[in-house]
Amino acid sequence: MPVKTTALPPWLRRGMVDLFPFAESEGPDRNLALRIQEYSKTGKPLRVKLGIDPTGSEIHLGHSILFRKLRAFQDAGHIAVLIIGDFTARIGDPTGKSKTRNQLSNKQVEENALTYLEQLGFGKPSEQSLLDFTTPGRLEIRRNSEWLSDLDLVQVIDLLGNATVGQMLAKEDFSKRVDLGIPISLHEFLYPLLQGYDSVVVKADVELGGTDQKFNVAMGRDLQRHFKQQQQFGLLLPILVGLDGIQKMSKSIGNTVGLNEDPLSMYSKLEKVPDTLVTSYLELLTDIEVNETLSLDPRERQKIMALNVTASCHGLASAKVAQADAARLVAGARDHIAEVPSVSISTVNFPAKAFYFLSAIGLCKSSSDARRQIEGGAVRLDGNKIVDPNLEFADRNMLLGKVVQIGKKTFRRIEM
């Protein structure tokens, strides 16, 4: 008699790049669909781990892919185990880094952790947040300093005995640094072992990660085997390409959309995403059926994607207002635009030249950047292009209430 196979549910398959181990038959140790099916029979939910190291203060849409999948597990009745890597953040994940990361202080890590939770929706109703913080039994928030701070030298040596130098140097990021003669600190070898040990402590059934995290997630499986536990599944999701259409979404590159951005800024950025990225953004950042949009005009797909992604962060009503406001601003109108975010000029010294003004209110990184933006034709005031960086504004009254625009994505109403 042939072995019965069980398919993964659509909500789980969506966006998935890799799942290991993967089997369409066999048992629940190798077939995640069967492990999920056990839940429907026994009522025992899976423990789904996602670790985040709060090394910065902003979560962008690229990060949100993993949280969306974690939320999908929550909505299916399973337990999200969100690990705040307050201990491992002090080491810094070497993945994707070409040099040793600067170690953060405890205070910096905790401040960042609190901002992360706020951006994920802590304190909001579940329908208004990225994760479900309110349904009982659906979320555990753990800080890995709870167990990693207490490891003694014997335990650390035991962990180190589960990996070889050869394995570590085979990790792509380390091998590149060896080839380039860039030093690797010994504490960096500890990172994947400590992340793997997190899986042991929380008894993870599934660990989520980006495709760049396969080594670290696999280490969790190795350590669970070492500690005689049932091994977790590794479920990997893609790295989101940023607004430039070339490199991964990264704040250091400047091609991001932050979860905390106002609706108008978010929508305006997203509706300019290159056509080649729209399908992946629809699949990874929304719940709408991608096939239903493929036959539409490319411009319409962009708008649908921008509206739905903005709605996922701010609600549909705010997203629709942002869409309408963006259209009016592009057309050069500013009256009756409801949700243009404001910027204060209270600290600007007048008279002020245009390049200084844009730098002083933080819309350009520096005075030289402001000059480049103006000379490149990217700056408008109430729809009128500013062409001279040295254009002088005699006093605040010349600017108050007007809308300044940088490129096609940034709009601010000038206020005191």
pLDDT value for 2:
38
Q: How many residues does the chain have?
A: 416
pTM above 0.75, yes or no: yes
pLDDT value for 331:
64
Is the pLDDT at 371 greater than 80, yes or no?
yes
pLDDT value for 403:
80
pLDDT value for 261:
85
Domain topology for 10-237: Rossmann fold (3.40.50)
Is the pLDDT at 96 greater than 60, yes or no?
no
Phi, psi of 387 (to 5 degrees): -110, -15
pLDDT value for 409:
67
Which CATH number is correct for 342-415, 3.30.70.2740, 3.10.290.10, 3.40.50.300, 3.40.50.740? 3.10.290.10
CA angle 356, 357, 360 (to 5 degrees): 85
Place 383 in a pLDDT band, splitting at 50, 70 and 90.
Answer: low
Segment 95-112 mean pLDDT: 70
CA distance 231 to 193: 15
pLDDT value for 366:
87
CB atoms closer than 10 angstroms to residue 263: 24
pLDDT value for 416:
67
Q: Are 255 and 39 in contact (CB under 8 A)?
A: no
pLDDT value for 334:
52
> Which range among 196-205, 258-267, 400-409 has the greatest average pLDDT?
196-205
Is the pLDDT at 144 greater than 60, yes or no?
yes
pLDDT value for 285:
96
Is the pLDDT at 164 greater than 80, yes or no?
yes
Segment 333-357 mean pLDDT: 75
CA distance 226 to 360: 57
Segment 260-281 mean pLDDT: 90
pLDDT value for 1:
33
CA distance 206 to 233: 5
Q: Are 271 and 302 in contact (CB under 8 A)?
A: yes
Place 4 in a pLDDT band, splitting at 50, 70 and 90.
Answer: very low
Place 32 in a pLDDT band, splitting at 50, 70 and 90.
Answer: very high
Is the pLDDT at 3 greater than 50, yes or no?
no
pLDDT mean across residues, the chain: 87
Q: Do domains 10-237 and 342-415 have the same CATH topology?
A: no
Segment 69-88 mean pLDDT: 95
CA distance 94 to 187: 10
Residue type, 333: A
Residue boundaries of the structural domains of the chain: 10-237, 263-330, 342-415
**SS3 string of the chain?**
CCCCCCCCCHHHHCCCCEEECCCCCCCCCCCHHHHHHHHHHHCCCCEEEEEECCCCCCCEHHHHHHHHHHHHHHHCCCEEEEEECCCHHHCCCCCCCCCCCCCCCHHHHHHHHHHHHHHHCCCCCHHHCCCCCCCCCCEEEEECHHHHCCCCHHHHHHHHCCCCHHHHHHCHHHHHHHHHCCCCCHHHHHHHHHHHHHHHHHCCCEEEEEHHHHHHHHHHHHHHHHCCCCCCEEEEECCCECCCCCCECCCCCCCCCECCCCHHHHHHHHCCCCHHHHHHHHHHHCCCCCHHHHCCCHHHHHHHHHHHHHHHHHCHHHHHHHHHHHHHHHCCCCCCCCCCCEEECCCCCCCEEHHHHHHHCCCCCCHHHHHHHHHCCCEEECCEECCCCCCEECCHHHCCCCEEEECCCEEEEEEC
Segment 65-89 mean pLDDT: 95
